[in-house]
Amino acid sequence: MALEAGLQFDYVSLAAGTPARWDDVLGVATFDGGGTPLPGAIPVAHVHTPVLLGSNVREVWRTAQPVESGQFSQVKYRRSDDLLFGCVSLTEASGLPAATEAAYREVFAAVNELGYPHLARIWNYLPQINVETDGLERYRQFNSARRNALIAYRRELTGNVPAACALGSAPGSPLVVYFLASRKAATAVENPRQVSAYDYPPQYGPKPAFSRASILGDILFISGTASIVGHETVHLGDVVAQTRETLTNIEALLSEANRVSGTDRFSAQTLAYKVYVRNSADLPLIQSQLEPALGSKAPVLYLHADICRQDLLVEIEAVGRAN
Active-site residues, by number, are 315
- Reported in sequence order, the residue ranges of the chain that DSSP labels E, i.e. its strands, are 7-13, 25-30, 44-46, 57-63, 68-72, 75-79, 83-90, 118-127, 132-133, 136-137, 163-169, 175-182, 187-189, 213-216, 219-225, 228-229, 232-233, 271-277, 300-304, 314-321
CB atoms within 10 A of CB 190: 19
Give the integer Cα–Cα distance in Å for 319 and 259.
18
Alpha-carbon distance 154 to 148, whole Å? 10
Whether residue 59 contacts residue 11, with contact meaning beta carbons closer than 8 Å, is answered with: yes
> Nearest 10 degrees: CA dihedral of 249, 179, 31, 46?
-160
DSSP bridge pairs for 127:
169
H or E element at residue 42:
none
Helix (H, G, I), strand (E, B) or coil at 54: coil
Whether the Cβ atoms of residue 126 and residue 142 lie closer than 8 Å to each other:
yes
> What are φ and ψ of residue 186, in 5° steps?
-80, 170
- Helices marked H in 185-238: none
User: How far is the C-alpha of 185 from the C-alpha of 49, rounded, in Å?
Assistant: 30
The whole-angstrom distance between residue 181's C-alpha and the CA centroid of its chain comes to 13
Kindly state the DSSP code that residue 129 receives in the 8-state scheme. T
Question: Phi, psi at residue 136, to the nearest 5°?
Answer: -145, 135
Start-to-end CA span in the chain (Å):
12
